[in-house]
Every structure is written in structure tokens, then in C-alpha cells.
Amino acid sequence: AQKITQTQPGMFVQEKEAVTLDCTYDTSDPSYGLFWYKQPSSGEMIFLIYQGSYDQQNATEGRYSLNFQKARKSANLVISASQLGDSAMYFCAMREASSGGYNKLIFGAGTRLAVHP
Amino acid sequence: DAGITQSPRHKVTETGTPVTLRCHQTENHRYMYWYRQDPGHGLRLIHYSYGVKDTDKGEVSDGYSVSRSKTEDFLLTLESATSSQTSVYFCAIREDTDEKLFFGSGTQLSVL
């Protein structure tokens, strides 16, 4: 069965430091997609970054990068130069293998990040 | 921002009553989804849709039904609400050529 695992329930980081949020996944499908979403205390879900399983380069979006290690089945989110506004819940998600074109996402349980001044 | 609106934002209801949550989009996207969020589970898919009258069940569909009579509206109905359906409900939309889902602001539902 496909699964997303986020082993860190909570993390904290000093402002301006970099932080890595872990995500491992399990799938037997060679074609899949990996996503990270941010959920601040206000509750909305904000898309951060996407990595396709066939993408050769690690995805980057501004201060966010995805450390994609296919053999290890990991898709860690790296946030560089943390800011106070980065304090939020972060979810890793994977496109279900049986999705076809529907992009049904499976989510991990999330990691709560606290950025300290 | 994606034009997606969920209503109501908050609702308190009693066990056994029917409840309908509405998701409205102005983007004319065919893909729409309903997820629920519970502590320790992340988000789990309830139902999804690809256009008018094209809907299917997700991982946690028991106790829920959906309807999509117009492209812009995706309704989620709890026929007889139970306390286990207390949750935050998110609607999401996706453009055909895009991988990512855009989420609405969520509906906090409490079933007493």
C-alpha cells in the first residue's frame, strides 16, 4: 500500500537558519509526484513545491527546495534562511498510483515547525 | 489566488441531522476534491469529481455523498451526521494541465 511518513511531529529552528523536514514514501509505481504544503495557524493549505519521479533535478521554489533521493524514497523539504512566518504545519503528499489523471493525493501526518527569533 | 470558496466556514450540528457543505469555484476547473483533516492523519480524500455528474469515492467516503450539477459547485452531504465526522473539511480544485491542487479555506464542522 502507498504511504507517506513524516517522522518529526515537531521541529524548531532559529531564525535565518536552514531546516530540513523529513518525508519518506512507499510506492511500487514508477510514476509518481511528490508535494509539500504549508498550513499556517490561519488554517489554509498553501502549495509550496512539486517533484515528479522522472525529474532529473531537485525542485526549487525560492527558499524552498526538495531533496529528492529516489533510491531512499525520501523527499525532504529544505527551507533556507528561516523566517518567523515559516512557523506552520508542513505536509508532504504523494500522488496516488491509481490516480490516472485525477491526482488523488495521499498526505502524511505533518510536521509542526516553530521558528524562534 | 485560486477562486475557491467554501461555505459555511464554521458549523455546529447535532448527531443525526443532515449537513451540506458547499464548494464554489470561479476558475472553471473540471477537477474538484473533498478532503477531511484530522489530527495525526493529515488530509484524507472523501470524494472527487471530474466535471458535471462525474464523481467517485475516495479513501474515507462512508457516510458522505456528493453532487456536482454545475462545473463551479461541488457539494458534500453528510446524510446523518455522527460525532466521528467532526473535522475540518477542505475542498480543492485542479487545472487539467497542472499537478498541484489549490485548496479552499476549509469548513470546521462540529457534530455534537
Task: Show the cell assigned to B99.
Answer: 499537478
Residues A58-92: pLDDT tens digits? 999 999 999 999 999 999 999 999 999 999 999 99
Report CB contact under 8 Å: A102, B31: yes
- Does B71 score more than 90 pLDDT? yes
Task: Show the cell assigned to B64.
Answer: 458522505
Nearest to B48 among A37, A52, A102 (CB): A102
Q: Write down the pLDDT at residue B1.
A: 53
Contacts of A44 in chain B (CB under 8 A): 103, 105-106
Residues A10-62: pLDDT tens digits? 999 999 999 999 999 999 888 899 999 999 999 999 999 999 999 999 999 99
* Band (B2; pLDDT cuts 50, 70, 90): low
Task: Detail the DSSP E strand segments found in chain B.
Answer: 4-7, 10-13, 19-25, 31-38, 42-50, 55-57, 64-70, 73-78, 87-94, 102-103, 107-111
* CA–CA separation, A71 and B27 (whole Å): 38
User: Of how many residues is chain B composed?
Assistant: 112
Pick from A105, A94, A91, A76: which is nearest to A9 by CA?
Answer: A91
Secondary-structure percent of chain A, ordered helix, strand, coil, rounded to 5: 5, 50, 45
Contacts of B96 in chain A (CB under 8 A): 101
